Each structure stands twice: as structure tokens, then as C-alpha cells.
Amino acid sequence: MCTFRGGTFQVSGLVINKTLNIIGAGHVPEASAATGRTVINGNIRFMGGSDFSLLQGIFHDGEIWIGEGTTSDGITVSNILLSRCNLDILYLSASSYSASASSAQNIMAKDCIFRANVVCQNNNRGHLFSNCIFQGQINYLSGGITINNSIFLHNSPLYSVTSALLNNCIFSVESTPIYSAGGAKSTFNNCIFGMSAFPTNESSSDYHYFNNCLAYGSNVIDLFANVPEARFDYMFDFHLAEGSVASGFGLEGTDCGIYGGAEPYKEGAIPINPHIQSIYIPGTTDGQGKLNISVTVEAQDN
């Protein structure tokens, strides 16, 4: 395990080729005020041998690559968990838009913010995104992906995505048929769209399945407690507003959005290690020459 304190760390093409748990102090400024948030700058690549690794509690500026980018040698990278992070661009089975392979399998992202694109190259399998916010697009998926209780803020959030399953999600897009099937339908269950009618697919004869979905007909930002525009900001509040139609609209009566589902978004995106809530260091010693430092730490149960 590699635990990072608060601060900014520069890496230069970090290659991970063994199981490694990287846990930071958190990325939300308010929740990490006592220690400072953990910022990692530079590209990170999970290669063969890195199965069952964890990346949690960081703000990342750079590219994350998962997979070798080729399957000619039979190497796959599987069971990587990205958790409670604010991430830039993510490549699955690829190091660029032009690469195409199936060397990343069973990748999970939970409680993450994606500021840029998630690029899923052809023939990926078993990926799960849960309770995430996507500010960029999800591109080039041709295989199994499930997305639960997530929020899409891009005006064209899904590009060339096929055979996907999306549950309890909220899409801010208000117009434009955006779902490119390429011959295989995706299924949307109990999702809410800002558009006034469900999109059809312009690039093929197939339509996607929209089961118990709502065409809201207006900008969905008013479904939330305080989201003045369709983008991510730490000052915004993505809890559902009182009386929001997204409350109880999800499968089995759960809420749509990141605070719904079986495991709602972790408040403050606090990592699993004990969280330092406050640190007080007096400017002088007491009468006995002691410096009475006070630290408040809270254990995390998830």
C-alpha cells in the first residue's frame, strides 16, 4: 500500500506492474481542509501484473491508462478499482484514441468525478461505473458496460456506445440524438433526460431501449439542490432538491443520481483510511513547556 499525505506530487510516466493500493488524503477541498488534498500530476499506467489495484482519494491531472494496448501477447489487466477520485482523461485498453484492444477487463469506478473523456476501446468487458459524475464523453465502447446512478453533464455524453446498461442516471442533454448504436442496442432503465423526447439513432436502423425513462423537457439542473449550470464545481450541491422528480424514480423506488442506489456517493469523497478532521497547533508552549497539539481523527466504515 502507498499512502499519500495532502500535497502536490509530480510523477513522470508512472508504470504500475504489480498489485498496488494508492490512497490519498482526499480531493474535496472542504473535506480535506485539515491536511490539504492529494494532487498527483503526470500520467499513470496500469500494466500487466497490476490486477486488483486501487486508486482512491486523489485529484489527478494527466492521463490514466489501464491495459497494455494490445492483446497479441495475451496480457490482460483486470479488477482495477478507481474510487473517490477527481480524474482527468481515462483510457481503457488503450493509450490513445487510435489504439484498439481488449486488454482491460472488469474495471470499476465508484464515486468518481471524470472531468474529461473516458475512452473505452473495442471489445472491453465487464466494466462498472457507479455513482459518478461525467463532465466529458464516454467514447468507443463495444462490449459490456454498466453505469449506475451517475450524472452526465456533457451535451453529447455518449459517443459510439453499444450494448451498454444504464440505470438510474440523469442526463443534462436537452437535444440531439446522441446514442450511436452501431448495430447493438443499449438499455436505459429509469433514467431522466433533459430532452423533450427520447433520441433515435441516426447512424443505424436500431433504436435503444428506454424502459420507464423520463423525457424531462427542461434543463435537469433544477432537479438538484444547488447546481446553477451543467458542469461540475465543488461549490455545487448534487443532492436532489426537495420534491425533485428524481426522488424515488429509480429502480425499486430508489433515487436517481449519485446519492441514490445501493451504495450512495460517499459524502466528501473521503477515503477509507482514518480521516483527519482537524489539527490545532498552538503558537506557544504551556507553563510546563509542552506544546499541546490537538488532532481529531474519524475512522471510516466504508
Cβ burial of 267 (10 Å; 0-12, 13-18, 19+) is exposed
> Residue 14's CB: how many other CB atoms inside 10 A?
15
Reduced to 3 states (helix: H, G, I; strand: E, B; else coil), residue 269 is: helix
Predicted local confidence at residue 279, as pLDDT: 67
Residue type, 230: A
Asked whether residue 161 carries a pLDDT value surpassing 90, the answer given is no
Q: How confident is the model at residue 275 (pLDDT cuts 50, 70, 90)?
A: low
- Residue 285 belongs to a domain: no
H/E run at residue 2: strand 2-3
Question: Residue 99 — very low, low, confident or very high, per pLDDT cuts 50/70/90?
Answer: very low
Residue 283 lies in a domain: no
- Is the residue at 297 inside a domain? no
- Give me the mean pLDDT over the 41-65 stretch: 94
In a domain, 141, yes or no: yes
- Start-to-end Cα distance in the chain: 17
Distance CA(21)–CA(17), nearest Å, equals 12
Residue 6 has pLDDT above 90, yes or no: no
Q: What digits encode the pLDDT tens for the residues 75-97?
A: 788 999 999 999 999 988 755 54
Quick one: pLDDT at residue 98? 47
Give the count of domains, the chain: 1
pLDDT in tens, 230-244: 999 999 999 999 999
Mean pLDDT value of segment 276-289: 69
Where do we find the cell 433544477? 222
Alpha-carbon gap, residue 137 to 244, rounded angstroms? 26
As given in the structure block, the three cell numbers for residue 87 are 480524474
Q: Give the residue numbers spanning the domain of 7.
A: 2-273
Q: pLDDT band at 105, cuts 50/70/90?
A: confident
pLDDT at 200 over 70: no
Q: Is 300 domain-assigned?
A: no
Q: Is residue 295 part of a domain?
A: no
Quick check: is 279 in a domain? no
Q: Flag whether pLDDT at 296 surpasses 90.
A: no
Angle at 27 between CA 268 and CA 41, to 5 degrees: 165
C-alpha cell at 299: 475512522
| Residue 57 cell numbers, joined | 482519494
Percentage with pLDDT > 90 across the chain: 49
Query: Mean per-residue pLDDT for 10-26?
Result: 92
- Asked whether residue 228 is assigned to any structural domain, the reply reads yes
Nearest to 149 by CA among 295, 252, 8: 252
What sign does the dihedral 261-188-106-133 (CA atoms) show? Answer: negative
Check: pTM over 0.85? Answer yes or no.
yes
Neighbour count for residue 95 (Cβ, 10 Å) = 19
CB atoms within 10 A of CB 16: 19
pLDDT at 124: 60
Q: Are 185 and 165 in contact (CB under 8 A)?
A: no
b vs e for 234-259, b when ≥16 Cβ sit within 10 Å of the residue's Cβ?
A: eebebbbbeebebbebbbeebbbbbb
Q: How many residues does the chain have?
A: 302
